[in-house]
Amino acid sequence: MFLFETEQKVCEVGGVRFGGQPGQYPTVICSSIFQKGDRVFEGKRKEGFDEKRAEEMLKTQDRLWAETGVPGMADVVANTGKEFERYIDFVTSVTDMPFCVDAWQMKPKLAGAAYCAEKGLLDRMFYNSITVWEEDLDTEIREIVEIGVKHVLLVAFDMADQMPLGRISGTQRLLDAMEKAGARFESVFVDTSVMNGPATAFCGVANRMIKEKWGLPTASAPSNGSYMWKQAQELWGFKGWSAADAGLESLAAFMYHDMIFSGPMAGATRIFPAVAMADAFTATAAFAETNKLPESEDHPLNRLFPDFVDQLKGM
């Protein structure tokens, strides 16, 4: 019931492996930095950013990765190629974690990817993202192939069909466009995207369908839903909202997400423990079906619950 008969692909970006069968690898948390409204700007994006604060966030995420076994990546957000250069240089000077280039428009995304190629960073960078709604998709795919991009995220959300099947048809369109261009990448994974909290369930259902059909690793951005749920803060304040946010992220991690886009990196201290518990939960559910434990000692189940793991080994 829980695992897949379809062979599951495993992606590796910057030494971080994800995908495979549920419970095999921890969920990757990709949290954003330099996004609009990020506290590192103090409201003054054009005047640079608070390097001390940015460094502290990156190092905190690295620490949480080491403590929980849940890998972290940085979703580097920029508006221009020049911004990407500045932010990529900073992130890679502070941490070895993998990262992605993330921009709404194609031109800066391509510039960011080209800069990573120039700096020899393509092994630890993924392209965020190839989307269903891009008007010049063929050009974008040709450009990233020419740059030498190795790892790509497909965003399959389709406004015309917001049910899970719409994500399947969207994924097919993107895979067809890649095939038409003769594009081959080392890693391809799919973000089924969402715009509110409960609809993250559609992502989980779509992710299972994608894994059954193609065996591809899957993702979504539950934070899109929780950060737009303003009513939660009005009703219960920050603590109540943050509990709902962590709960949504952990539910997604359990429900067929190999990666989650968790929103601002400032929230890492609540998200990593929540996802670590979800990963331990998932691995235990998989054990009930297979009698197998995660092989990596760094998996949250093995790292955080060694006494329970010893009990499982004796069952």
pLDDT per position as a tens digit, 246-284: 999 999 999 999 999 999 999 999 999 999 999 999 999
Q: Is the CA virtual torsion 268, 270, 271, 275 positive or negative?
A: positive
Could you tell me the fold of the domain covering 27-292? TIM Barrel (3.20.20)
Mean of all residue pLDDT scores within the chain: 96
pLDDT band, very low/low/confident/very high, at 47 (cuts 50, 70, 90): confident
pLDDT (tens digit per residue) in 13-45:
999 999 999 999 999 999 999 999 898 997 667
Share of the chain above pLDDT 70, in %: 99
pLDDT (tens digit per residue) in 104-153:
999 999 999 999 999 999 999 999 999 999 999 999 999 999 999 999 99
pLDDT at 44: 67
pLDDT (tens digit per residue) in 81-105:
999 999 999 999 999 999 999 999 9
Judged against a pLDDT cut of 80, whether residue 1 lies above it is answered with no
pLDDT at 194: 80
pLDDT band, very low/low/confident/very high, at 55 (cuts 50, 70, 90): very high
pLDDT at 157: 84
pLDDT at 104: 92
pLDDT (tens digit per residue) in 151-186:
999 999 877 888 999 999 999 999 999 999 999 999
